[in-house]
Amino acid sequence: MSMIEFKDVEKYYGHFHALKDINLKIDAGETVVLIGPSGSGKSTLIRTVNGLEEIQEGQLIVDGYDLHDPKTDMNKIRKNVGMVFQHFNLYNNKSVLENIMLAPRLVLKRDEAENKKIAMELLERVGLADKADNMPSALSGGQKQRVAIARSLAMKPKCLLFDEPTSALDPEMVGGVLKVMREIAQDSDMTMLVVTHEMDFAKAVADRVIFMADGAILEDASTEEFFKAPKNERAKQFLSQVDSH
Amino acid sequence: MTLFDKYSSLFLSGFGYTIMASLLALVASLVLGTVFALLQLSKKKGWAMVGNGYVQFFRNVPLLIITLFFYLAVAKVIKMTGFAAGTIALSLYTSAFIAECVRAGILSVDTGQMEGALANGLSYGQAMRKIILPQAFRIAIPSLGNQFINLVKNSSILAFVGGLDLMYQGNIVAANSFDTFTAYMIVGAFYLVLTLPLSYFMQYLEARTQGNQ
């Protein structure tokens, strides 16, 4: 069953054509990595999946809901589709534990004791149980991002979106975040869509790689195929530039 | 101070009414101001226009005119005392300024906070209540403090419509005793008794909320 399906999707910012004729199907349980040069529309694409960006034309079906239909209740989709942001977006006015417990309490009406138990388990899992009572401002970037991942997981989503989760981190913080993401990809049947520049992560974890440039999908291939021999010229060029770093 | 001893019951009664009018108007204007700030920021054009129209009207008309409108016109339809007319006018007038403070506060909260909350499954209303507004109010504390202090001082408008407040009683004492200077000095001192602690309280709030960010 497909978790996310784009059919002839077009997205504009005013006159700027941000997404061009996107056709893409992601099955439940797949881990898909989205790469491409900056400004290629990767973030825009991933942000349409939970309705943070509207599409202007075409159809976008997520978890059975049509996002382009104005009658669709976006909150129903967001309950099942979590997102991890480049700049974490933790609630600055809430403690680490409250960041994780808030949405399950308000949206899922999860029992308070159960809620706390799950939140603490998740903090344990991302290695930050001792920070439960800290405010986000007391954490490093890498720690913030791991809390943000725990916050998303607490909703027990079917699908997790990662929008450049390591791009704003100091180099020594990247590994810890990628490790947590790798564990999620391997230990769960969650669908993962990841925008990233971490090619090693893509090679190790992704089932599929999608290459975008100028708002269009130029290549959609299995991870092995893509990294061995990309068919698209732009993709080849991009890979050689990334590799030379 | 013999003047104060002689008229102390008037001063104290006026002081009581001033406190009451200020408290009522403070709560009402904070609630109204927040509501109209949210309307101004609504994505629905109609609501945004209503919010903006309200704010522009009430902050651009003299408080005295609004007060007289309620005392002379509205009171003909709905019976109300000068105290009520003045307090309502004071609430509406102040709420327009508070709406601007709250709106500025909301706008200065990072947009990522709202996106994070929406993506986490919260509704727009839940995100506003639990995440955005608490941060917006914290940012707005200094400018809200200004508005609250202005509100207390502006409550002297009640004197124009027989509102029984401090200024009203001060006018009576001044007229009866012929000691205008002393009468108004005492009135001024009473206002300071209210506004100075309020100022320090707002400074304390500011320091405290900045501490636990």
Domain borders along chain B are: 2-211
Share of chain A above pLDDT 90, in %: 76
Of B113, B122, B213, the CB nearest to A135: B213
Sign of CA dihedral A112, A115, A120, A123: negative
Whether A128 has its CB under 8 Å from any CB of chain B: the answer is: no
**B116 with A103: Cβ contact below 8 A:** no
Burial class (CB in 10 A: 0-12, 13-18, 19+), A150: buried
Q: What is the ipTM of this complex?
A: 0.92
Say if CB B82 and CB B163 are below 8 A apart.
Answer: yes
HSE-CB for A76 with a 13 A CA cutoff: 10
**pTM to 2 decimal places:** 0.89
CATH fold label, B2-211: MetI-like fold (1.10.3720)
Query: Chain A: residue nearest B111 by CA?
Result: A89
Look up residue A215 and give its two tokens: 């708002």
pLDDT for B211 beyond 70:
no
pLDDT for B213 beyond 60:
no
Whether A93 has its CB under 8 Å from any CB of chain B: the answer is: yes
pLDDT for A173 beyond 90:
no
A79 vs B contacts (CB less than 8 Å): 121
Query: Chain B: residue nearest A95 by CA?
Result: B213
Whether A152 has its CB under 8 Å from any CB of chain B: the answer is: yes
Strands A16-27 and A191-195: what pairing? unpaired
Residue A61: its pLDDT value, please? 94
Q: Strand A81-84's sheet: what is its strand order?
A: A81-84, A159-163, A191-195, A31-35, A208-213, A216-222
B interface residues, A as partner, C-beta within 8 Å = 110, 112-113, 115-123, 126, 130-131, 134-135, 138, 212-213
Compute φ and ψ for A211, nearest 5 degrees.
-105, 130
Whether A162 has its CB under 8 Å from any CB of chain B: the answer is: no
CA distance B55 to chain A (A): 29
Count chain A–chain B contacts defined by CB atoms under 8 A.
Answer: 70
**A93 with B131: Cβ contact below 8 A:** yes
CA-closest candidate to residue B34, choices B125, B106, B127, B99: B99
CA distance B49 to chain A (A): 23
Element (H, E) at B13: helix B2-40
Look up residue A37 and give its two tokens: 């040069």
pLDDT for A77 beyond 80:
yes
CA distance B132 to chain A (A): 9
Report how far residue A217's alpha carbon sits from residue A199's, in angstroms, rounded to the nearest whole number. Answer: 18
Say if CB B122 and CB A106 are below 8 A apart.
Answer: yes
Residue from B43, B108, B114, B120 whose CB has the most chain A CBs within 10 Å, to mutate: B120
As for how many domains chain A has, the answer is: 1
Which residue matches tokens 């100075």? B196
**A78 with B138: Cβ contact below 8 A:** no
Dump pLDDT digits (tens) for A17-72: 999 999 999 999 999 999 999 889 999 999 999 999 999 999 999 999 999 888 89
Whether A244 has its CB under 8 Å from any CB of chain B: the answer is: no
Say if CB A116 and CB A101 are below 8 A apart.
Answer: yes
Of B110, B121, B134, the CB nearest to A75: B121
Of A89, A106, A137, the CB nearest to B116: A89
CATH code of the domain containing A58: 3.40.50.300
Share of chain B above pLDDT 70, in %: 98
Average pLDDT of the segment spanning A170-189: 88
pLDDT for A219 beyond 70:
yes
Say if CB A140 and CB A173 are below 8 A apart.
Answer: yes
Helix (H, G, I), strand (E, B) or coil at A160: strand
**A52 with B115: Cβ contact below 8 A:** yes
**B113 with A91: Cβ contact below 8 A:** yes
Range of the domain at A127: 2-243
Residue A93: its pLDDT value, please? 94
